[in-house]
Structure 1
Amino acid sequence: MTAAEATTPGRLRPVSEDDRFGRLIERRDGADFPYYNGVPVELSVVRWIIVWLSVAAGMAALMFIPTPNNLGALLPRTLFVAIPLGVLALVAGRAWTAIFRKVRLVDVGNMFFFAALNIVLTFVIGGIVSLIFPVSPNAAITSAGSGGAVDTIALYVGSGIQLIGEEIFVVLPFLALMYFLFAKAGVSRRTAVLLAWIISAIWFGAAHLPTYDWNWVQAIVVIGSARIALTLAFIRTKNLWVSAGAHIINDWVFITAAVLTAAAVAGS
């Protein structure tokens, strides 16, 4: 691909309104997913592979940089976000911001709606799975509030950064898969969305295997299924801020519950 081709929008086959989902799934305001059909830029397969590797590199930084406490964890959590976004900026130029849109009042409502939907799915699916299979707790949440005030503040800040990174960790592979399927495999936009939705959810669930003691059922079925709701937030709004906001609200609910529990135990 030449430099001119890399920045020429709309080179791929056009998408009709018949190839979009209905109003229940996609908001009809003219917005579409970036990159998969050459708008605002087309990223080649090689560039998408580089982006996907950068996502994995960000995860490696998060997992393998030693972190004695939540304050120390701010560095790897920041790298988790900065590495893939930096690489996206290198390969997409100014169009790297296409995954972010202005946050409107309706988007704030969407954040709370999808956070609530995700919490319900987590409880329902997690409850069913726990009746059949052993499950492991999330140590980062269960230990919340046990390290003192500074550590707790660092946990909220750091987890917020990390959860933005987790959205990047899913959304960029989701868009890469859409490009591979739509532009290279020739499938319809609807099919590309559905397959990318499922595969990226499995990818996200698999990344949580170390968090849940390599419990495949819990990571893939519970976390992967809950991921469906968070990705739906991006599918509906085409705005990573919305899915990130929903994810942050979701996790902060559980963190706050753990912090209040720790405070109650300490005060008893």
Structure 2
Amino acid sequence: MHPTGSQDHPDFPFYAGRPVSLSGPQWLVVMASVALAFWLLVAAWTRPAQPWGMWIPVLLFCGVPLCALALVVGRAWTALFHRPSGRDLLLMVGIAALNLVVTLLIGLLLNGLDHGSANPAFKSMGEADTATRVMAFAAMVPQLLGEELLTILPLLALLWWLHTRMRLARRTALVLAWLLSAIPFALAHLPTYQWDLVQCLVIIGSARLVLSLAYLFSRNLWVSTGAHVLNDWTLFGAGLLLGSLSH
């Protein structure tokens, strides 16, 4: 990692005045918007029964935090995103591949310990028609952008608090923010995996730490989102392929 950023890899935004600084109350507004966005994602009333209904909660999931951030910092919200370079594209692929390997190894370990519930989305997608499957794969893009915001915005808030308020060294603050920001992401998956705390904290939490490396190395939310999309498309695509071969 570049300690303080460079022309190709600018420093992390919002924690040290680049491009702007947020106050404590402003960070609370952003964090409240992240919590609201997650509630809108899982609330039943935001998802009409029609196939296109899946788009409403996922667009709210990524749109609400970005709107809140724009409300607080104005056009500086775009500091989260940069045009991906060739190196960034390679990083997306590399992090996605690394995450698949890590997830598989940890999943095999916990499977022997009676942990490892399947994501029910695999079953529902396996029973869906082709058009619904295509729409579901497309809707993963805004949903996974929302999942990146669910992690990276708290990471930046923690980096700000630990470095500027707790006076920890930047590297120490960054490592702690990286570790701690994986926890809410892991816990958000509890309803999906039958409230298996071990599975969520160990498997999902480890996957989150790997995916967050894409942002830490690039300072670009497009890169971590791209890695996340490649990871999930591969998992669900492989699941559909294996399911079709078994019939």
| TM class by smaller structure | over 0.9
1:210 aligns with 2:198: no
- Determine the structure 2 residue equivalent to 1:190: 171
Task: Identify the residue that residue 123 of structure 1 maps to in structure 2.
Answer: 104
Deviation at 1:259, TM superposition (A): 2.4
Which segments of 5 or more consecutive residues in structure 2 lack a partner in the other structure? Answer: none
Mapped contact 2:40–2:60 kept (Cα < 8 A): yes
Structure 2 counterpart of 1:57, from 36, 47, 70: 36
Alignment length, in residue pairs? 244
Superposition pairs of residues 97-246 of structure 1, within 5 angstroms: 97-246=78-227
Tell me the amino acid that sits aligned with residue 80 of structure 1.
F
Percent identical pairs in the alignment equals 41
Compute the RMSD of aligned alpha carbons: 1.8
CA distance in 2, matches of 1:148, 1:197: 39
Residues 124/28 of structure 1: CA separation in 2 closer, same or farther (3 Å cut): farther
User: By how many angstroms is 1:189 displaced?
Assistant: 0.6
**Given the superposition, is the C-alpha separation of residues 144 and 45 from structure 1 closer, same or farther in structure 2, using an over 3 Å criterion?**
same
Q: Deviations over 1:76-123 (max 9, x none)?
A: 011001000000000011100001011111111110000001101101
2:26 alignment counterpart: 47
Q: Give 1:27 shift.
A: 8.1
Asked if residue 34 in structure 1 is aligned to residue 9 in structure 2, the reply is: no
* Structure 1 residues without counterparts, runs of 5 or longer: 1-16
- Aligned pairs (5 A) from 1:257-268: 257-264=238-245, 268=247
Give the partner amino acid of 2:154.
P
Structure 1: 4+ residue segments shifted above 6 A: none
* TM-score (ref. length: structure 1): 0.86
Offset at 1:38?
1.3
**Quick one: which amino acid aligns to residue 200 of structure 1?**
S
User: Shift of residue 224 of structure 1?
Assistant: 0.3
* Aligned-residue offset at 1:226: 1.0
SS of alignment partner, residue 98 of structure 1: helix
Greater fraction helix:
2
- 1:133-159 CA-to-partner distances (Å, cap 9, x unmatched) read 332101113332421022111111111
TM-score with structure 2 setting the length: 0.93
Per mean C-alpha deviation after superposition, the further-off stretch among 122-131 and 28-37 is 28-37
Distance in 2 separating the partners of 1:232 and 1:128: 23
